[in-house]
Structure 1
């Protein structure tokens, strides 16, 4: 019985963590998939570490899309909403940090 409870607890923990694990490293994956010559494994890993500090998971999901469609970033930058302005400010801060740390 004790073993069954431990297995059940572990299974419950894994299913709870699964969404977070699938969302992890979005920036790193997008970086590695880009056609930029500077997108090395080490640099993309470093950029992901900075993203984890500077951006929320939701921000990272949005920013990761910009690697394949930079026009989305331009649309957000030109937006007049306060929420978009706040994301753009966080993104710029992230960019400055990544450049300083990962270059």
Structure 2
């Protein structure tokens, strides 16, 4: 379990499945795959899920690199926290 921006946003969300254990596990996956600035960027998806779609569809190089890292994070979180 870990604590950081992702776990904080997870616990503040209205998702029914949230728990300290799950949010801490998700943070641990983020710590393994995302930089601090990428984690802060990913936190915005909790408040504005549509922004994730906009970034995913963007042709900008920075957004493409971020989305690759974010996808890797998602896969790692599924493996660790599944």
Partners of 2:35 and 2:28 lie apart in 1 by 12
Deviation, 1:49, is 0.8
Structure of higher CA gyration radius? 1
Residue 81 (str. 1) matches residue 37 (str. 2): no
Give the gaps of 5 or more residues in structure 2: none
- Consecutive aligned runs of 4 or more in structure 1 exceeding 3 Å deviation: none
Residue 28 (str. 1) matches residue 7 (str. 2): yes
Partners of 1:53 and 1:96 lie apart in 2 by 11
Residue 62 of structure 1 is matched in structure 2 by 41
TM-score, normalized by length of structure 1?
0.74
TM-score, normalized by length of structure 2?
0.92
Residue 10 of structure 1 is matched in structure 2 by none
Partners of 1:32 and 1:65 lie apart in 2 by 14
Matched residue count = 80
RMSD between aligned residues: 1.0
Larger RCO (alpha carbons 8 Å, 6+ apart): 2
